[in-house]
Structure 1
Amino acid sequence: MMIKRKFDFFVIGGGSGGVRAARVAASRGIKVGLAEGWDLGGTCVNRGCVPKKLYSYSSHFSDEFNLMSTFGWKSFKPKFSWNKLVVNKKKEIKRLNEIYKGLLKNSGVEIFNDFASFEDQYTVKVGKNLIQSKLFLIAVGTKPRKLSFSAQKKIITSDDAFDLKKLPKKILILGGGYIAVEFASIFNGLGVDVTMCIRGRKILKGFDDDVIEHLSIQMKERGIKFITGSFPNEINFENKKFNVHFKGKKNLKYDLVMEALGREPNINSLKLNLAKVKRSKNDSIIVDNYFKTSNKNIYAIGDVIDRVQLTPVAIAEAMHIVNNIFNKSKKSFKYSNIPTAVFSNPNFACIGLTEGEARKKFKKIDVFTSHFKPLKYSLSKLTDKVYIKLIVNSVNDKIIGLHYLGENAAEIIQGFAVAVVKGLKKSDLDDTIGIHPTSAEEIVTMKNKN
């Protein structure tokens, strides 16, 4: 027997965006519910940003051990335990799940631990509940895109990579986006023989060409191999090995193959057609400037609308939509100057335009670069170098792009992002005294234009 329930605002999806929207809406004194069939926190907490960053930290220790002897410490051969890392990661994720659960309950949000699907334009089915709501918010995120090789069932995605029973000796990663690059660096740092295979000629499409060229060089120097301009036409599994077939080339064997080929909207079970919610050609949900779908009572935010797929953006969208709905205002969301990072080794982070984008948008720009070996590596054989690119609108002196490749890039760019958003000028940097000796001081001392 189905149980009928009514809400003022019902959220489908318990990721960062959905949870924030539910909590803020509940604080307005309205009746709010949330449905999530998996663990609370979404991809970021459970199978994305958080575990990825933990594993990235782990992989960087190999550099620290290599540096020990050059700084006077007696070196030793450390023993790495993959199982220990996995166990500790699970404990931390469980802790975060409970925090999300507590935040929702303390806010007065009723949680339904099941998946939701639409019955009609005003009703969703969640387990044994038929739920009607004045307004719905879809925040279900995305899932890894998969292909259809013969060995597909044994090929892993980023969802599986965090919980492998053991590390492979040799892995092939299909894809060249940030997920592929980050996992290549993680596995490489943990001692795995890594090969990346991309259809194009370079990794991280959409980022600044010069920065990515420098990153690619450093990844190669660390032992990561690249297959470019080619892609497998078949992958099968035999004798405990993946046999990867390339047209016109010799077959290659690997212990493990990982697909990191982007993500697609996680909407298969939603039955959006019954709610009259329209989708784009890539299945993302179509919304207007105020996140309203083709059904005026249903909104959508986050990765499922395929605008900027970043957790902080989904959270900001959640705040924006709740304020718009309950303050009855009509403010559109601005996607300019959003900082982002790739947790590769070395790290890369940026805010603003690439040089190519800037040249198309502005008549005249100035580009400043700096490339150097940081002091930390000066006593060692490590070849990592910092690369910084600063892009300035020559007309008004404003910073329109800042790109940093090097250790702690994300932490550095996060601070500068505030200033860039507020209209930072090159003259402001020139007037700033740097902290010496640091790598980041180069940002305020660059004088030579390209």
Structure 2
Amino acid sequence: MSFDFDLLVIGGGSGGVRAARIAASQHGARVALAEESRMGGTCVIRGCVPKKLMIFASEAPAAAAEAREYGWQAETGAFDWPMFRGKLHTELSRLEGIYTSGLLAAGVEVFHQRARIVDPHMVELADGTRRTAAHILVAVGGRPSRPGIPGDDLAMISDDLFDMERLPGKVLVMGGGFIATEFATILKGLGCDTTLTHRRGRVLRGFDEDARALVTHQLEHIGVSLRLDVNVTAMERDGGGIRCHFDDGSAERFDAVMLATGRHPNTEGLGLEAAGVKLGKGGEIVVDQWSQTNIPSIFAVGDVTDRVNLTPVAIREGHAFADTMFGGHPRHVDHSLVASAVYTRPFELGTIGLTEEDACASREVEIYAATFRPMRSLFAGSDLRALMKLIVCAETRKVLGCHIFAPEAGEMIQLAAVAVTMGATKEDFDLTVAVHPTLAEELVTMRMPVRRSGPEHHRSHDLDRALHPA
């Protein structure tokens, strides 16, 4: 059977663009890509990139305060949100153009419209045109979820923050994941009176407990009001603001509410069910290690599969798919070791591998940890404590996890991830000569474990007792 294309990609985010470009430019495949919105997807247009630029902007007041502690007469003045927003969108448009031009240079035919799967080899575009392909790759990502409470349509989702006409004076952030904690940090840094509410007692569920405790403490330290172990039950319009009702019986008015209560795969209306593609309980596309669905000609990568929802993972999946299908080099992605970072401020969290809680559930582990006040912030009068933590298998001595809470932890964990991914042992870390004075030198100078944990040990989550045992 003759097809219009060897590959038709639905979705112009990081994973889809990488797969299309590699398949076309390196492996000579006839490739098309359909994207209904802006090229670059969530990360470039609505996520990682604009968020990180907002984080940089939000650091200025703290930087000025630190400069004063070092002897400078430093002030920041007022923040010009319209100026920043205009420059931000100019930069996003520049990046979008790079993504599009890269595809065209690779020989990919681009359709700037929505696509829907008709059958295992056919896609229908929004204008009614139908195109066929030997292989279809779905890379449409995810989208923010709403909690389903009365009035939640009054609230913003994370996508909306980059288009605000003005900054809210008083804002509520709902959620406790990395999006919620990062945007609470951003909004507070930009001068908003910020409250974060979360149904649990600590933020960042699923991360190492010691790190969770420190991030939660830091949010309070920088002036974010925390309402933990409580749920918002309803929202209603209150003049120009929103009144939120909580399940503890209280209510409070905010100028704006931002929802960061999770994301779900963006699979609705794609024709997947009609084509026979199996979906999971959360709407995610079920795939095997080769990113192949139960329909042999249909594949999926990125957040739409709900494996590890990070941009670099989607890129790696897309590249592996292209090499496997069109390059004669079968390979798949190992999702068991993926480094990540939570860009709170002034300290951020970097992590790779197992948490202590997960590691000690099935084996004996040794915990090496150091908490300390970093030289730079200590001199400026800060009481915030950094954390360097290694989880080591007691039998093999292999480093199973590394967790860093410190300034620029994302930069540090990227380098530590190389060693952990290679299977480094604690003794390999010990053999490494420290660079002094640095924060990261603590990773190679910790000689004695602070405790030994395993299935039969009771793990206290009290940070002070855990890191400073009697």
Q: 2:373 maps to which residue?
A: 373
Quick one: structure 1 residues 355 and 248, their matched pair in 2 at CA, closer, same or farther if it must change by over 3 Å? closer
Cα offsets for 1:246-272 (capped at 9, x unmatched) = 234221111111110111111222121
Opposite residue 265 of structure 1, the aligned amino acid is: P
Aligned-partner Cα distance in 1 for 2:149–2:86: 31
Residue in 1 aligned with 2:255?
Answer: 255
Given that residues 36 and 114 in structure 2 are in contact (C-alpha distance below 8 angstroms), is that contact kept between their aligned partners in structure 1? Answer: yes
Aligned to 1:65: 64
Q: Which amino acid aligns with 1:99?
A: I
Residue deviations 1:390-430 (CA, integer Å, cap 9, x gap): 11112122111110001100001101111111111211221
Matching residue of 1:156: 156
Letter in 1 for 2:48: C
State the SS of the aligned residue for 1:242: strand
SS at match of 1:218: helix
TM-score, normalised to structure 1, is 0.96
Shift of residue 141, structure 1, vs aligned partner: 0.2
| 1:51 and 2:56 correspond | no
2:349 aligned with 1:348, yes or no?
Answer: yes
The C-alpha deviation readout for 1:40-70, integer Å capped at 9, x for no partner, is 1100000000001111111122211001122
> What TM-score do the two structures reach when normalised by structure 2?
0.92
1:19 to partner: Cα distance: 0.3
Query: 1:218 touches 1:383 (CA, 8 Å); kept in 2?
Result: no
The one-letter code matched in structure 2 to 1:178 is F
Conserved 8 A contact 2:116-2:270: yes
Partner of 1:289: 289
Q: Structure 1 residues 13-22 or 232-241, which shifts more?
A: 232-241
Task: Tell me the residue number matched to 2:458.
Answer: none
> Which secondary structure state, in structure 2, belongs to the residue aligned with residue 125 of structure 1?
strand
- Paired with 1:77 and 1:410, the residues of 2 have a C-alpha distance of 26
Quick one: which amino acid aligns to residue 12 of structure 1?
A: I
Aligned residue in 2 for 1:14: 12
- Comparing 203-212 with 427-436, greater Cα deviation is found at 427-436
CA separation in 2, counterparts of 1:77 and 1:20?
Answer: 40
1:195-234 to 2 correspondences below 5 Å: 195-234=195-234
State the Cα distance separating 1:353 from its structure 2 match: 0.6
Distance 1:74 1:240 in 2: 38
Of all paired residues, the percent bearing the same amino acid is: 37
Letter in 1 for 2:206: G
Equivalent position amino acid for 1:347 in 2: E
Paired letter, 1:89: L
Report the Cα offset of residue 239 of structure 1: 1.2
Cα drift, residue 328 of structure 1: 5.1
Is the Cα–Cα contact under 8 Å of residues 121 and 274 in structure 1 kept in the other structure?
no
* Structure 1: distance between partners of 2:298 and 2:134: 9
Q: Within 1, Cα distance between the matches of 2:286 and 2:91?
A: 35
Which 5+ residue runs of structure 2 have no aligned equivalent? 451-470
Match of 1:81 in 2: 80
Match of 1:113 in 2: 112
Q: Which moved more, 1:119-128 or 1:335-344?
A: 119-128
Counterpart CA distance in 2 for 1:248 and 1:415 is 45
Contact conserved, 1:149 with 1:236, CA < 8 A, in 2? no
SS at match of 1:388: strand
User: 1:201 deviation in Å?
Assistant: 1.9
SS at match of 1:384: coil
Supply the AA of the counterpart residue of 2:357. G
**Closer, same or farther: CA 340–373 of 1 in aligned 2, 3 Å:** same
Aligned partner of residue 273 in structure 1, secondary structure: coil
Q: Which amino acid aligns with 2:337?
A: N
How far 1:331 moved relative to its partner? 4.2
1:190 — aligned with what? 190
Contact 2:397 2:425 in 1 (8 A): yes
Which amino acid in 2 is paired with 1:296? P
C-alpha displacement at 1:6, in angstroms?
A: 1.3
Comparing 99-108 with 423-432, greater Cα deviation is found at 423-432
| TM-fit CA distance, 1:153 | 3.4
How big is the shift at 1:326? 2.3
| Secondary structure, counterpart of 2:203 in structure 1 | coil
Aligned residues of 2:171 and 2:257 also touching (Cα < 8 A): yes
In the alignment, the residues of structure 2 paired with residue 147 and residue 310 of structure 1 have an alpha-carbon distance, to the nearest angstrom, of 22
Structure 2 CA distance, aligned partners of 1:112 and 1:68? 50
Count of matched residue pairs: 446
Q: Distance in 2 between matches of 1:430 and 1:36?
A: 49
Q: Does 1:90 align with 2:89?
A: yes
Instruction: Spell out, residue by residue over 1:111-151, the C-alpha distance to the aligned partner (whole angstroms, 9 max, x if none).
Output: 00001012233211113321111110000000100134443
